[in-house]
Amino acid sequence: MTRSFFAGSYGGDDAQLNDASLLECRICWWVYDPAVGDPVHQIPPATPFTALPPDWACPVCAGQRDAFLVVEA
Ligand SMILES: [Zn+2]
């Protein structure tokens, strides 16, 4: 195995995502839903994952963006 991410994972590559992509934290399983945003970090609804600030992290466990897996692309 040379790949560290299974098929469908985010792997830090924004090109895999579209504006409606849901992403799940692989550490705590919290799901980022673009339709909801992230109230913890004052991210408004309708914010795609790719538009999150570079320093954004999981609001539950503070996992980094590249720890997120695509749930629905
Ligand atoms: Zn998390």
Domains and CATH numbers, the chain: 15-72 (2.20.28.10)
Q: How far apart are CA 33 and CA 6, in angstroms?
A: 21
pTM to 2 decimal places? 0.79
pLDDT tens per residue, range 34-65: 999 999 999 999 999 999 999 999 999 999 99
Q: Using an 8 Å Cβ cutoff, are 73 and 19 in contact?
A: no
Distance from Cα 66 to the centre of ligand 1, integer Å: 11
Distance from Cα 56 to the centre of ligand 1, integer Å: 12
Distance from Cα 22 to the centre of ligand 1, integer Å: 14
Q: Using an 8 Å Cβ cutoff, are 34 and 48 in contact?
A: yes
